[in-house]
Amino acid sequence: MSVSVWLVPPGAAGPVDQGPPSGSRAEALRLAEDLVAHVALPPGSARFSGPVPPVLRPWDDIGSIPDMAVASGWWTSAASARQVSTFASAHPAAGTRFFGGGSIGAPGQRVISVSDALTVAPAGLASGQLNIFIAPGQQGGSLVLATATVQWYPPRSAAEYVTPEMRAVTVSVTIAGPRPRVVTRTFSSPAVAGRLAGLLNGMPAAPFWGPRSCAAVWASYRVTFAAAPGAPPGLIASTTMCGGVAVTARGVAQPPLDDETGALSRAAAGLLGLKSPFVPSAP
């Protein structure tokens, strides 16, 4: 069963709230280079500017990825690979936190890795990570490669904002299961409609995240804005896996939005009376 749900906000005209600022490759690259420059290694470690040693080269070849800047550098250290790993794990770069570590690579090419992640990304930037790869040196000591990756938010398209003339909105949820069902409810509060529009207008465009492992989605939400009940849709926002929101404006697909916190799903689930926004439940 599918029923339209209309939330009718006041028709006051005015500027559309803009989302968070977008970033740029230049900003992301500056931060990536700063993270590499401030990597913490044991005293006496020396940075080199020549070609990366062959044992570390596989971890330096990231390639070109949309919306991501990459910086790297390599060092030698008199400390053993394990000692460098222990030191780096205990001294994350300024503005980062220890994210993880371990042993990676094919047999005969294994290296120790330590990863730090940004605690708070600057405005316009989505995320940042500093990866440290450590291999034993051929004559003792160790070789160290530090690679920083920083992603930025691309600009949103002008078409994917909820505008003042979109005065009605349909909200629905499709719940997966042996017998999938659609749940809808009707609200008349202008504040509710305004909150949903504000959530969408406040989201940044999603950067290219690449392949990711995401939890199964048991409930997907769809919010459709129009000029009036029964009018053609002006904007449709649908939640997707991995915290994304697909947007269609007047029938034209727009760049996806980034909703890593699941704010739209949580708001819609609360309005529809679902106990959890992400697992099967009944209102």
- DSSP assignment string, 48-99: E-SPPPGGGGGGT-----TTEEEEEEEEEESS-HHHHHHHHHHSPPTTEEEE
How does residue 191 score in pLDDT terms, banded at 50, 70 and 90? confident
How does residue 42 score in pLDDT terms, banded at 50, 70 and 90? very high
One domain for residues 228 and 198: yes
pLDDT at 212: 66
One domain for residues 163 and 147: no
One domain for residues 83 and 191: no
Range of the structural domain that residue 213 is part of: 158-272
Residue 75 included in any domain: yes
Among residues 130, 152, 174, which one ends one of the domains? Answer: 152
Residue 281 included in any domain: no
Structure tokens at 178: 């042996």
One domain for residues 74 and 134: yes
Q: What is the pLDDT of residues 3-41, one digit of tens each?
A: 334 444 444 333 445 667 899 999 999 999 999 999 999
One domain for residues 163 and 250: yes
Residue 249 included in any domain: yes
Residue 263 included in any domain: yes
Tell me: pLDDT of 223 over 50. yes
Q: What is the pLDDT of residues 52-85, one digit of tens each?
A: 888 888 888 777 788 999 999 999 999 999 999 9
One domain for residues 52 and 148: yes
One domain for residues 128 and 82: yes
Among residues 152, 177, 205, which one ends one of the domains? Answer: 152
| Count of the separate structural domains present in the chain | 2
148 Cβ contact partners less than 8 Å away, ≥ 6 residues apart? 31, 32, 33, 35, 36, 70, 71, 72, 128, 129, 130, 131
Residue 99 included in any domain: yes
One domain for residues 30 and 142: yes
Q: What is the pLDDT of residues 133-168, one digit of tens each?
A: 999 988 889 999 999 999 999 999 989 999 888 888
- Considering 72-76, 106-110, 264-268, the range whose residues carry the highest mean pLDDT is 72-76
122 vs 216, residue with greater confidence: 122
Mean pLDDT to the nearest integer, 211-221: 75
CA 207: distance to chain centroid? 7
Q: What is the pTM of this model?
A: 0.80
Among residues 152, 181, 211, which one ends one of the domains? Answer: 152
% of the chain with per-residue pLDDT over 90: 49
One domain for residues 140 and 162: no
